[in-house]
Structure formats: C-alpha cells, structure tokens
Amino acid sequence: MLDSFEIVSTSGVVLWSKQYVPVGANIVNSLIRDIFIEDIRTSGDPGQKPTYKKEGYTLKWTVAKDLGLIFVAVYQSLVHMTWIDKLLDNVRTLFTGLYSEQLKSKKYSSTEYPFDDYFDRQVQELESKNDGQPATPARRIPTTDTTPPSSSEGESAPAKPSVQGLKVPNRSIHADSSADATPVPTPDASRPASPAAHILQAKGLRPGGKLSRRDRQRAKTASPAPSSGDEGRPTSKGGKKSNTKKNRVWDEFGLADHADDNTQLDYSAPADLDEATSQAVEHVEESTWGKRTGKGEFVLKDLEDEMDEILSKVSAGKESSSNSTNGFVGSSLGAIGGLFRNVVGGKTLTEADLEKPLKGMEDHLLKKNVAREAAVRLCESVKVDLIGAKTNSFTTIETTLRSAMERALTKILTPTTSLDLLRSIQATNRTGRPYILSIVGVNGVGKSTNLSKIAFFLLQNNFRILVVAADTFRSGAVEQLGVHVRNLQELSAREGGHIDLFQRGYGKDAANIAREAVQHATSADPKYDVVLIDTAGRRHNDTRLMSSLEKFGQLAKPDKIFMVGEALVGSDSVAQARNFNASFGSGRGLDGFIISKCDTVGDMVGTLVSMVHATGIPVVFLGTGQHYADLRTLNVSWATTLLMK
Amino acid sequence: MAWHDQDSWLTWVFSPSISAIIVTALIALLLPVLIHTILYRTQAQASTASFLLLGPSGAGKTSLLTLLERGSTSATHTSQTPSSAEITLPSTIKSASNEYRSENDSSFSGAQRFILTDTPGHGKLRQFASDKLDAKTLKGIIFVVDAANLSKESGGRAEEGLTEAAEYLHDVLLALQKRYTSAKTSKGPKELPVLIAANKFDLFTALPEKLVKTELEKEITNVRNTKSKGLLDSGIGTSDDAVEEEKEWLGDGGEGKFEFRQMEEVNVFVDVIGGNVTGADGPGVGKWWEWIAKQI
C-alpha cells in the first residue's frame, strides 16, 4: 500500500502531498540529500525507475526538470508494488498539464493545487487494473477498502474480475440500446449523432470504469442543477436536454450492465427524466446541436475524461515533435535562426544543439586527466541540466555549457561536511581518547611521505603524536618511517612537539599492531593526542590483500581513514577509489582522499574529479612538493579554474 | 508651408493670440504635474529592498519564507535551488522609511514590500548564497539557526549543529568583511545588518537569545583559531596575484575572543532575535517582522 505521495519543488516547498500513513519528513529529506545533492547512484533495473531505500521505506521518484518538480512515492519495502512507475509518470503528466500556468508563475510555491481527486482516481484506476491480473492478497485489501465509498452496493466486487471481458460487450449492448431507445423521443438529426457521441464517451472508459461510471452519473445528476438555475427555463432546456439525454443513456448503460438488479442504479426519478427529454426534443435544431454537445460535454466532463485528455495530448505531442523537423524551408530557416540565436542568445537548447559542444567538453576533460567514466557522467548530468534551458542573451552554447560544467565541478568538489581536522581532533581528545588516523593506498603513491607531512602539520599545532608502522611487509618500510620520525623530532624539538614511533618489526599482523598501538597511546603518560597508522601498499584489485583491510578497520577503529592517490594516475583512479572505499565492509568507508604529487601534473588535476566523482568522498589534502610543509587543503575554485582552462 | 512662413505654427506660437496663450499656459501647468507623477511612480517601484535567507540545512529557512509569504507554513524538504518571493509587511507594522508617510501615499505600499531570497543550506550548495551577497539592493541578511540544536552540553547531534552553524556564519561574516576591506572607495560599502534568527523557540530545548549569541561567538572563535592554524589552501601561491591572496581573519585581526560587536567596524551590525516559525500557539515571528521593517 502506498504510504505517502509528495510533489516537492526544488526550492524545498511541498506543493502537494497525500499521506495515507504519516511518514517522517526526514525520509524524503535524506532522499533529496543523497540522490539529488550528493549524487549517489542507486542500482536498479535500467527499464524501471530508480529506487531508494531508507528505514524500511522504499522511495521511487521522477522529476520534471523544466518546472523544478520532484514526484516522490513512499511505500513500505515489504510491499511489492508494480504500478508505482506508471503512477509516477501519470501524475507527472497530469500535474504539469493541469497546473503548467500556475507552476510557471512567480508565486507557484504559494498556490493551492487541488489535485486530490485526480490523484485518487489514478490510484484507484491503477489498483483496479492490477486487480485484473492475478494479484497478491496484500494488494487486494486496499481495493476492497476503497471501493465501498464509490459504489454503495456490494455487487461490484464479484463483477470485478470479469470487467476486462465486459468492456466490448458493453459497448455493443449500449449501441443497440441507444438505437432502441432514441426512436421513442425523436426522429431527429440528433439521433445518429448521439450514439456516436456516446460511443466516443464509452471509448474513454477504462476497464475499471464501473466505479467511475457511477461517479460520472452522480456528477452529472448534480451538475445540471446549477446551470438550469442560472439560466431561464426555456433556454436551459437545450443544455438540460443534452444532459438528461446522456444521463438516460448512461442509465441504460447501467441497465445493460446488470440486467437483474436495475432499480438500485436509478438515483433520479425516471418519470421526470422522460418528460424532460420529450419536452426538450421538440426544440432541437441542427445549429444548436453542435454547440449544445460542446456545452453539454463541458458540463459533463468529469475528471477522468480530463485526465485522459491530458495524458493523450502529451503522448500525441511526443509523436508530433519527433517528426516535426522536416521540410526544406522550415529546416533551413530554423538553421539560420539557430545560428543567429547561438550568437545573440535566447536559444532553447535541444539535445542536437548540445551534442557537439558536449563532445568537445568531454575531450577537454579527458585531456585534463579526468577518467573517461567520470567525464561521460559529468557531461550527461550537465546535458540533462541544460536541455530545455534557454541561453542568456549574448552567450553562445559553448559559454553556457562551460558555466554549467563549472557549476557541476564546484558542486562535486565542495565537501558536504567540515574537513577541519584540528577541530575534530580537539573534539575527540576532549572525550579522553586519542584521535586515530590511518592511511591506505596503492603501492608507491606516497603513503609514508604524506603521513609524515600530516605529522609535521599536527606537530606545529602542539599535538603529541604516535606514528605506527603497520607496514610489516615491504622491507625498509619501518626504517623509512623511523627516519621521518627522527627528522620530525629534530624539527619540532624547539617548539615543544612530541612524536614517537611504534613498531613491532616485520611479518606481524598489521591489524593487531594497530590495536596494540592504540592501547599504548591511551595508556601512555602523558597520553598521545593523535595516532597515525601507516599501512602496507596494496593493489586494489587483489581481493586477498584487500580483505585484510576489513579486519584492520574493525580492530584499529580509526576516526578517519584517508586514501592516498596519485595525481598521475589516469582512469584507474576510479577503480582504486571504489575498491578501497568498499574494502572496509559495510558501514565503514573512506573519509577522504589525499592526492599526492600534484606538483608533477601542472593543470591536469583530473584525478581529483575522478576519485571524488566515483565515491562522493571529499579531497582533504593535496601533496604539492617534496618538503614537509608541502601539504595543502583543496581550494575548489582553484581546481575548477585549472580544469576549465 | 515652411516654418518661416507667415501662417506657420511657429509664428502662431509667438503671436499674442488668446489660443496660443491658453495652450502655453496649459503646457506650463500640466507638464510638471505629468513629470512628477511619472517619476514618482517609477521611483517607488524601482528598487525593492531585498533580504537574503541564509543558514544551515534544517534551520527553517524555507518554512520562514513560506510563512512570511502567505501567512501559513507548508511542509518543506531540503532545498536544492534558491527561490525568492515578494513579501508585503503586515498592515500593523510600518517600515522605517514609511514612518512619516501617509498611508494614502502612492509610494506607501511600495516601501512596505521587499524581496526575500531563500538559499539552500546544504554544504555543497552554498555557492548560490555567496553569489548573491554583493547584490546592490541587499538591505540585510537573515541568518536562521536552530536554537534547539545549539547547546554544547547535550553533545552529539546538537554539537554538530552548533559547529555547522558557526562555520557557515563565520564564512558569511568573513565574506562581508572582505566586501568592506576590498572596497575601492574609501567610504566602503553601505552598512549591512545581519539578523541571527534563532528559530524553533517553541521547543523546550531551545536556548535563550543571549545564550545563542554567546555560544555562536565562542564557536566562531574556535573556528577562527583552527582556521588560522590550518594548512594553506591550494589556491595560494599557485596563482599569479599571490600577493593579494593573503588570508584574512574575522574581526580584530583574528586575535583574542570573537564578538559580534567587532563586526561593526566593517559596517556589519549583528542582532540575535528569537522566534518560531511553527508552534502550538501559532508562529511567533513578530520581532523578525519588526527587524525587517526597520531596515526598509
């Protein structure tokens, strides 16, 4: 069962919502944060809409990019609902179709959207459609719940399974009966027309139209009253006639449907109706007929017809737009206009316009050492953003694309959380615990070097540091760290810094050494503030080596795990980032990247983007040289300028 | 008929005929009235004061916007794009520039209106806000914080709330200070008031205004300290105009304790006022209305 359905604008206002069961706002909030802002990808079948799971709820969504709307359906993960995709699509077309004017106006967020009726119809329709097929019991319960209000009799339930089959007979019966019925009141020109109109109406009916037919009848019996009240008696006859005429046929429709119990369907007085029809028929003229039908239909038009109209209009529009660009004159004029607009601006961008510049942009990014996967995805997201948008005055497509790409890069590289290492160390130390920081990475990327740079930076802030040599594999690794520690001790001795090395030699289990080191740091007097753990380099696609990281993470319980990646590496960076991020088991991932050797690549800093793009984890530090002080934090605008240069 | 002919219009204008005198008199009398009305109309609508809503995610910015716009709140979710709305002050509150103006004055309603721009508070989307900081019509900044999510003692989640709010506020104030120090003219930009709207006062755990102020000041001091000790960022030294990119410290050269009062040196005036957008007894945003009214 659907729990909640919301239509949210990108500015954060809920435009319309329907809650069957109260669902906390945090569910949708986390969807927006994770999917729309952080851009975490979800797995799912390509043909289906993506899903997002949170706290036992499953969320499906669709967007109307041009209007800035998000349509979200929330339901319990236990329930399997097949028709949500269809519902989302239908609601999107309906909502945008019905309220396109209001949504484009400035005050769209404070407008009321009376969408409830439309939505209920859609849900009923889709639910009943589903009932035609073998349905699970879970799905059947809601329909029996919802049907009683619309149909007062219980007989609708047994009739339900055969609805699909009834559709065709219905129509033929109805055509027959109308032909039978009409001769009585009139031999007029209106007669041949009326069955046709009714058939048209009948065509609009859905398989599950039984309920709606009644609703329609009810709506109809209600609607003539005000119109006849407004107008004078004689003039109202025309309108009334058409209504009653249809009414009568619908009535008959109903009769044909349940031949045995015909009386209960008749809500209005039948004698009255006949009288009205026979009276009205005398006044029928050819000229008023058309107008009347138009008017009559307008009065009769119920939600379902309106909905069908909108839905069919949209699908028709799709078809026509696909084959609209033919004809020589039209296309060449369009081309000239397009060229002109490309210079002057104000052009609405289409996929064809963007194809070539996007290819150029992709090549540009590849030249900047962005991995192909990341470049393609970036271009895709920018394309989705730009299609349907208008270029500003005096800007070309290329400029628009550039600024859009800059925005996308800034968004990706900007960290979500604070990266202030000093503050988090202080916060952790306040609880009486040392801050544990470990560093992982592929062989030879500069793990030990960057570790000692971080140590130097922390020493300057007067922290007591314990460096742990957990690389028990590569010969010379412990000695290398020893040299670094000795150097740092000498450098910081005057400033009162304190740094020690914790080592257990080679061949031991790294995870156990790390745990021992943490215990040592906690029990030492005075306590160490920060524990820096160096690990052995490992190939990211070697499952045997990577699997030991999970144990390491569990035993050492690091506050932060940083991965060192080279700026030199190309498309492998994506796989590196992903594999290391996944290697610590579920619930634990990397906390940041350190991109080393940035001074060797000039402006080709694409690795930054590739790694962040693959995982959504921010870049914390950049290594920019050979000295201890050559460690920098990332300046996002600096990186984007380099990339777009 | 040229202009120098005997019976041309020019001759007629200068002739002492009664019709010419009437026409001249009419023009002389009506033209000033006409010009006055035209200028007056356009002037009144030209520059509507604008305000910027900033603050961390979940503080209640979008709710506040909807409340001020239509008088009732609506359900909101995390914003992704900025949005703005034109808002009219309630009839009970007169804006500062309307103090001596009659309510029948045509420019009265113009001066009662302002534009409020809501920005997304999520960390990745704050660039929208910083883009808008140097708008010409900007009359003030409303920085919304969640007063129920600021206390240090409660630890955990609330402490994060305080840190996030303080960091964002630090960045905003630093940007405002830079606006002042990097101004070309010696006079500097106009004064810019900042309202720290301590939201959610209806909640039991909300801190009082004074405490919100001191907590934020303390935390900004911390932020400033760690920033000053932190590493240089990668932009420095790599760009050509490295001399100009010296780091700036917020208030008093970054020494000692930070207080909002220090910002007055750079024409930024900070007020902390509490209120609540939602609540059992209805919204309590009267003081915020008054603050806004004072600025326009």
More confident residue, A540 or A195: A540
Q: Inform me whether the pLDDT recorded for B27 exceeds 90.
A: yes
Structure tokens at A409: 């890069």
For residue A499, the model assigns a pLDDT of 92
Instruction: Choose from A52, A423, A634 for mutation: most chain B CBs within 10 A.
Output: A423
Q: What is the pLDDT of residues A533-559, one digit of tens each?
A: 999 999 988 888 888 899 898 888 899
Mapping DSSP onto H, E and C, the string for A383-446 reads HHHHCCCECCCCCCHHHHHHHHHHHHHHHHHCCCCCCCHHHHHHHHHHCCCCEEEEEEECCCCC
Considering only the beta carbons, identify the residue of B69, B125, B164 that sits closest to A110: B69
More confident residue, B47 or A461: A461
Say whether A638 and B81 touch across the interface (CB within 8 A).
no
Q: How far apart (Å, rounded) are the C-alpha atoms in residues B36 and B45?
A: 14
Chain B interface includes A110 (CB < 8 A): yes
By Cβ distance, the residue of B58, B74, B234 closest to A638 is B234
Whether A418 sits inside 8 A of B75 (CB atoms) is no
Contacts of A411 in chain B (CB under 8 A): 124-125, 127
pTM above 0.80, yes or no: no
Residue of A nearest to B69 (CA): A110
CA-based nearest distance B228→chain A, Å? 11
Query: Which residue, chain included where needed, has tokens 């960022």?
Result: B233
Of B77, B124, B164, the CB nearest to A12: B77
**Residue A634, CB half-sphere, CA atoms under 13 Å: how many?**
27
CA nearest to B123, candidates A412, A4, A431: A412
pLDDT in tens, A408-435: 888 888 888 777 888 888 888 888 889 9
Cβ distance A633 to B229 less than 8 Å, yes or no, reads no
> Is the C-alpha dihedral spanning B131, B134, B135, B138 positive or negative?
positive
pLDDT at position B57 is: 87
A279 touches chain B (CB under 8 A): no
A106 versus A325: the higher-pLDDT residue is A106
What's the Cα-to-Cα distance from A11 to each of A8, B80, B87, rounded to whole Å?
8, 6, 17
Q: Is A107 on the interface with B (CB under 8 A)?
A: yes
pLDDT at A466: 93
**Inter-chain touch A421–B238, beta carbons under 8 Å:** no
Q: CB distance from A626 to chain B under 8 Å? A: no
How many Å lie between the alpha carbon of A330 and the closest alpha carbon of chain B? Answer: 37
> What letter represents residue A276's amino acid?
A
A608 touches A627 (CB < 8 A): no
Kindly state the helix (H) or strand (E) to which residue B142 belongs, with its residue range.
strand B138-146
Residues B235, A460: C-beta atoms closer than 8 Å: no
pLDDT bracket for residue A49 (50, 70, 90) = confident
Q: What is the DSSP letter of B280?
A: T
C-beta separation of A81 from A135 below 8 A: no
B69 contact residues in A (CB cutoff 8 A)? 107, 109-110
Question: What is the model's pLDDT at position B150?
Answer: 77
Instruction: Calculate what percentage of chain B has a pLDDT beyond 70.
Output: 85
CATH architecture of A421-644: 3-Layer(aba) Sandwich (3.40)
Looking at the predicted structure, is the pLDDT value of residue A150 above 50? no
Among A17, A37, A607, the strongest candidate for a mutation testing the B interface, having the largest count of B CBs within 10 A, is A37
- Residues of chain A with Cβ-Cβ distance to B234 below 8 Å are 598, 622, 624, 632-635, 638-639
- Per-residue pLDDT, B188: 66
Question: pLDDT tier at A531 (50, 70, 90 boundaries)?
Answer: very high
- Out of B83, B124, B239, the one facing A11 most closely (by C-beta) is B83
Say whether B62 and A13 touch across the interface (CB within 8 A). yes
Q: Which tens digits make up the pLDDT trace of A348-400?
A: 778 888 888 899 999 999 999 999 988 998 898 888 888 777 777 677 788 88
Residue A272 touches partner B, C-beta closer than 8 Å = no
Cβ neighbours for B279, distance < 8 A, ≥ 6 positions apart:
B201, B202
CATH of A2-138, one of 3.40.30.10, 3.30.450.60, 3.40.50.2300, 3.30.70.360: 3.30.450.60
SS3 B292: helix
Give the nearest partner residue to A13 out of B74, B123, B222, using CB atoms: B74
Q: Is the peptide bond before A46 cis (omega within 30 degrees of 0)?
A: no
Report the pLDDT value the prediction gives residue B147, as an integer from 0 to 100: 86
pLDDT interval class at A561 (50, 70, 90) = very high
Which regions of B82-136 does DSSP assign to beta strands (E)? 83-88, 113-118
CB contact under 8 A, A25 and B75: yes
Please give the ipTM for the structure prediction. Answer: 0.74
> Chain A residues with CB inside 8 Å of B62's CB?
11-13
- Give CA–CA dist B38/A158, Å, rounded: 74
Please, what is the average pLDDT of chain B?
80
Render pLDDT for B196-250 as a digit per residue (tens, 0 to 9). Answer: 998 888 888 888 888 889 888 988 888 888 887 777 776 655 544 444 445 567 7
In this predicted structure, what is the pLDDT of residue A280?
47
> What would the pLDDT profile of B77-111 be if each residue is shown by its tens digit?
888 888 888 888 887 777 777 777 777 776 677 67
Closest by CA position to B174, among listed B270, B92, B250, B281: B250
Give the nearest chain B residue to A111 (CA atoms): B70
| Concatenated DSSP letters of A205-273 | --TTHHHHHHHHHHHHHHTHHHHHHHS-HHHHHHHHHHHHHHHHHHHHHHHHH-SS--GGG--S-HHHH
Looking at A157-171, A200-214, A276-290, which range is the least confident one? Answer: A157-171
Of chain A, the percentage scoring pLDDT greater than 90 comes to 14
Q: What does the pLDDT read at residue B254?
A: 64
CA–CA dist A103, A111 (Å, integer): 8
The sheet carrying A464-470 orders its strands as: A498-502, A464-470, A530-535, A435-441, A560-566, A592-596, A619-623, A631-633
Does A622 lie at the interface with B, CB-CB under 8 angstroms?
Answer: yes
The residue type of A449 is T
Output the pLDDT for position A41.
Answer: 64
CB contact under 8 A, B232 and A25: no
pLDDT on residue A264: 52
Q: Which of B64, B72, B218 is nearest to B146 (CA)?
A: B64
Interchain contact, B85 vs A110, CB within 8 Å: yes
Give the residue extent of every domain in chain A: 2-138, 162-313, 345-413, 421-644
CB contact under 8 A, A37 and B232: no
For range B148-167, the mean pLDDT: 71
What does the pLDDT look like over A99-145, one tens digit per residue? 888 887 777 777 778 888 888 888 888 877 776 544 333 333 333 33
Residue holding tokens 């919304």?
Answer: B144
The whole-angstrom distance between B189's CA and the closest CA on chain A is 25
Q: What are the helix (H) ranges across A503-605?
A: 510-523, 543-556, 572-582
Q: Does A438 touch chain B (CB under 8 A)?
A: no
Alpha-carbon distance of B133 to B130, in angstroms, equals 5
Average pLDDT, chain A: 73
Residue A166 predicted with pLDDT over 70: no
Maximum pairwise Cα distance, chain A: 114
Q: Do B74 and A416 touch (CB under 8 A)?
A: no
* Cβ–Cβ gap A423/B127 under 8 Å: no
pLDDT of residue A439: 93
CB contact under 8 A, A13 and B78: no
What's the confidence (pLDDT) of residue B17?
A: 86
Residues of B with CB under 8 A from a CB of A: 57-58, 62, 66, 69-70, 74-83, 85-86, 118, 120, 122-127, 159, 163-164, 167, 222-223, 226-227, 229-236, 238-239
CB B152 within 8 A of CB B215: yes
Question: What is the tens place of the pLDDT at every residue in A80-93?
Answer: 777 888 888 888 88
Distances (CA, A) of B209 to B67, B72, B290: 21, 24, 16
How many Cβ pairs closer than 8 A exist between chain A and B? Answer: 131
Q: Distance between CA A120 and CA B228 in Å, rounded?
A: 59
What single-letter amino acid sits at A214?
Answer: R
Facing residue for B238 by CB, picked from A68, A426, A638: A638
CA distance A209 to chain B (A): 34
Nearest by CB: A418 against B163, B232, B236: B163
Average pLDDT of A286-299?
A: 43
